[in-house]
Structure 1
C-alpha cells in the first residue's frame, strides 16, 4: 500500500498534481474493512476509493487537499484519518477536482471516496456533508456535537448530512453524538434529502440527540431511498430513528434504548420493513407521528421491552402489538440475529474504535479489523497498557473528590452508577447486558493518567477501551481489569467501555488517579 502524509500549507489553493499523490494503482489495498451491505450494495454497489491511492490526513485541511489533488473528481482515493479534526485545522481548499468549504468536511461534486479512521478519528463540532456525491464509504469515525446555532456552527447541525443527487453511500462503525436537542443548537445525526438513494448505515452508535435522522426534508421531498439500517445502537434519542418520508427503509437488528418521544416515524407514504429489532424503555417506537399523512410498516420478530404506546391527535403509534399493514421486498441477501440477543451483539460491535466487529448472524461477534502496515505516515501507536490487578496506585482517588459524579450506558436492576465511587467493595454497578460503559465525571478539567477498575469477581471483563468522555478519543485499550496506565490527560469525563465479557461484569470501584 502506498501512503503519503499531506503537508501543504493550510488554505493554499491546490491544483491536480501539486501534491505528489500516488494515484490509481490496481495493487493498492484500502484500509476499509468488509464490503457494503444493504441497499448500498445493490444497483452497482458501493466500493468507495478501492483501487486508488491511500493517503493519511490528520487535519480537515489535509482531507480537503487529498480530494483536490486527484487527477479528477472521480479518481478513487482512500483517506485514512487519525486524530481530532476540528474548526481549528480545517480550511477551504480549491482545485479542479474538489469543491470544499471551511466549516465542514465537504464531499461535494465528487465520487469514489473512502474516509476511514485509523486509530481514533474524531470530527469534533465539524460535520461531514455530501452533495452531488456518489460511491462514498465512511468508516470507523466519531462525529460529535455539530451545531446549527451557537458557536461554532457546522453543516446545519447535522453530524452526517446528504442532499441533492447523492447515491451509494455506506456509513459503517461510526459514532454520532450530540449533547442535546434543537434548543441546544443541534439538529440531526444522520440526514438524507433531495434525491439521496441507496444508503446503508451499519454497526453505528447514535446517542444523546433530539433527532436521530430523517429521510426527506419535508412531506413533499419524497424522492429519497431506499435505505438500510442494521446493527445500530440508538440511545437517548427524542425522535426520528428515522423520520421516513415517502422512502423505503429496511430496519433490522437495531437496538433502541430510551427513545423519549417517538422512534421510527413512517409518514407521507414511507414504508419501513422492521425485522428483529429490540426496543427498550421507550415511548412510541414505531408509527406515524406529527402528521395526518400515513406511512406503513411490515413488522416481524421485534421485541418491545418496557415500551409505552400513547395515541394523541397527531400521534398514531403502531402498537401495542404492532401488525403489518404493507409488504416490502428486499433485493439483497441478509441474515437476521434473533431479537433477544440484539442488545448484546450490538453493544459489542457498534460504533467507532470497537475493532470493526460484525455479527456472524448467529448472535456472535467476529473481528475483521485490518492490519495496517507501518509506514512513515502511520499514526502513533496506542500507548502500551499496564494491567496489574493486585497493585494499588498511590495518591488520591479522584473519583471520591467532592463534586465527582458517575454515569453510564445502562445499569442492571439493583445496581447503581454511584456504586463505583462510594469507596465500598460490597456495592457495584453492572450493565444491563454483558457490555456497557461506566464513567467518572467532574465539573472542572481533571488530569488522569491511571485508573484502577475493581471487579467483584475478577476475570469477567474481557476487552475494554478507556475513553476521554469529553472528546471520544480512545486513551488506551486492552483486556482484563485492575490498574491501567496511559499518558496523562486533562478531561472532565473518563469512560471505561467494556467491549466483551465472559458474563455480567460487576464493577465495585472505578478509581482514578493523577499519577
Structure 2
C-alpha cells in the first residue's frame, strides 16, 4: 500500500535589498526566497553555492538583472538576484561595467561567478529570452520559467536555447525551472538545456522540459567530448522529439526522472559517453535509451527503471536501441550521496514537485 507523498520546503534565507537599476525594488521581505542546497554533480569540484553570502537585489526587468551584475565590486562578488514578473526583449538591454559582460536580448552570465538568479513567489517568466552562460562558474538558476526562445524568426535569443552553457563553465545548479517551447527546429526553436565546449559539474533537478523538438545536448559535435559530470534528477520530460539528453562523451547520471511522450528517441549516449540510468519512469515513448543517428557508440548502466508502453525500433548501422530489454554495457561510479525513490513512485512525486511555482518542494523519499 502506497504511503502519501511527503514533501518539505527548502530552508528560507533572510535577504537584504540594494538598488540595482530601473526595475529593482528597494525593500525585500525576510525569507522571500530560498535556494536550499545543490545536489548531484554540482556538489563536486568545490560545490555550487551561487550568490550565498552576498547582497540580494530584486529585479523586474532584464536590464535590472544586468545592472545588478555590473554593480558588483568585482565579477566574482557574490550576489542573489530575485526576479519578479516577465522578462522580455523590451526590458532587457546591455549594461556596461568592470564586473560584467552583458548584451541586449539575452540574460548574459559571461565571465562571472558566484551568482544566484531566483524567481520570487510563483516564479518569474523569461518570455522568448534565453539565459546564456559563458566562462562562468558557481551559478544557481531557480524557480523560473523560460519559454519560446527562438534561433530563427523574430525575436531571436541565445541561439534558440532556453538555457545554454559554453566555454569553460563549471558548477551550475538549475532547479525547479520550467523550460518549454512551442515546437521544433522548423518552428524556429533549438534546445531547452544545452552544454558544450568544456562545461562540467552541472545538475538539473525538479524541472519540467516540454513541447520541444530537442530536450538538450551535452557536446555540440562528436569531437566536443570535454563536457562531463552532469546529473538529471526528478525532472519531467514531456512531448520531446529527442535529446533527453544527447550525450557526447563524458559521464551523466539520470535518476528519478519521468519521461512522457519521447517521440523519436530519448537518452542518446554516443561518442564514448557513459550514462547511469537509475529508477526512472519511461512512459508512452519510443527508443528511450541507446545510441542513435551515429555509429559512434555510447554506453549505459541501467537499474530499477520502468518502461511503460515503450516501443523500440530495430537495430541498424546508425541505430542502436538499448531495448526491448535494456542491459548495462558499462559501469559508472557516482561520487556523491543520493537517495533513489522507487521508480513506481516517480510520476506522482515529480508531478507534485517539479517545475517553477511549486514552492521549491522536494521529495523526502516517501511515495
CA 1:30 to 1:94, structure 2 compared with 1: closer, same or farther past 3 Å? farther
Give 1:460's aligned residue.
none
Shift of 1:361: 1.6
Partner Cα separation in structure 1 for residue 292 and residue 57 of structure 2:
45
Give 1:75's aligned residue.
77
Q: Contact conserved, 1:296 with 1:326, CA < 8 A, in 2?
A: yes
Q: Contact conserved, 1:188 with 1:213, CA < 8 A, in 2?
A: yes
Shift of 1:30: 8.5
Shift of 1:230: 0.1
Q: Contact conserved, 2:22 with 2:63, CA < 8 A, in 1?
A: no
Shift of 1:171: 0.1
Partner Cα separation in structure 2 for residue 320 and residue 86 of structure 1:
44
Give 2:183's aligned residue.
180
Partner Cα separation in structure 1 for residue 351 and residue 223 of structure 2:
36
Give 1:55's aligned residue.
57
Give 1:146's aligned residue.
149
Q: Quick one: higher RCO (CA 8 Å, sep 6+), 1 or 2?
A: 2
Partner Cα separation in structure 1 for residue 77 and residue 18 of structure 2:
16
Shift of 1:201: 0.1
Shift of 1:313: 3.5
Residue 279 of structure 1 is aligned with which of 251, 276, 282? 282
Q: Contact conserved, 2:18 with 2:55, CA < 8 A, in 1?
A: no
Residue 216 of structure 1 is aligned with which of 219, 222, 232? 219
State the SS of the aligned residue for 1:167: strand
Runs of 4+ in 1 over 6 A off after TM superposition: none
Give 1:324's aligned residue.
328
Residue 361 of structure 2 is aligned with which of 354, 357, 379? 357
Shift of 1:148: 0.1
Partner Cα separation in structure 1 for residue 267 and residue 275 of structure 2:
8
Question: Following superposition of structure 1 onto structure 2, how do residues 331-346 of structure 1 map, counting pairs within 5 Å?
Answer: 331-346=335-350
State the SS of the aligned residue for 1:310: coil
Cα RMSD (Å) of the superposition?
1.7
State the SS of the aligned residue for 2:356: coil
- Give deviations 1:130-186, integer Å, cap 9, x for gaps: 000000000000000000000000000000000000000000000000000001000
Shift of 1:314: 1.8
Give 2:68's aligned residue.
66
Shift of 1:307: 0.3
Residue 106 of structure 1 is aligned with which of 108, 111, 114? 108
Q: Contact conserved, 1:32 with 1:139, CA < 8 A, in 2?
A: no
Give 1:471's aligned residue.
none
- When Rg is computed on C-alpha atoms for both structures, the one with the higher figure is 1
Q: Contact conserved, 1:30 with 1:49, CA < 8 A, in 2?
A: no
State the SS of the aligned residue for 1:226: strand
- Give deviations 1:303-354, integer Å, cap 9, x for gaps: 0000000024321100011000000000000000000010010010000001
Shift of 1:5: 4.4
Shift of 1:33: 2.6
Give 1:368's aligned residue.
none
Give 2:11's aligned residue.
none
Partner Cα separation in structure 1 for residue 300 and residue 324 of structure 2:
14
Partner Cα separation in structure 1 for residue 135 and residue 194 of structure 2:
15
State the SS of the aligned residue for 2:352: helix
Does residue 6 of the first structure (1) align with residue 20 of the second (2)? yes
Q: Contact conserved, 2:21 with 2:63, CA < 8 A, in 1?
A: no
Shift of 1:34: 1.2
Shift of 1:2: 1.3
Structure 2 unmatched ranges of 5 or more: 1-14
- Give deviations 1:417-440, integer Å, cap 9, x for gaps: xxxxxxxxxxxxxxxxxxxxxxxx
Give 1:246's aligned residue.
249
State the SS of the aligned residue for 2:120: strand
- TM-score norm. by structure 2 comes to 0.93
Give 1:436's aligned residue.
none
Question: Following superposition of structure 1 onto structure 2, how do residues 58-457 of structure 1 map, counting pairs within 5 Å?
Answer: 58-119=60-121, 120-311=123-314, 312-363=316-367
- Give deviations 1:338-388, integer Å, cap 9, x for gaps: 00010010010000001111011222xxxxxxxxxxxxxxxxxxxxxxxxx
Partner Cα separation in structure 2 for residue 30 and residue 272 of structure 1:
37
Q: Contact conserved, 1:116 with 1:141, CA < 8 A, in 2?
A: yes
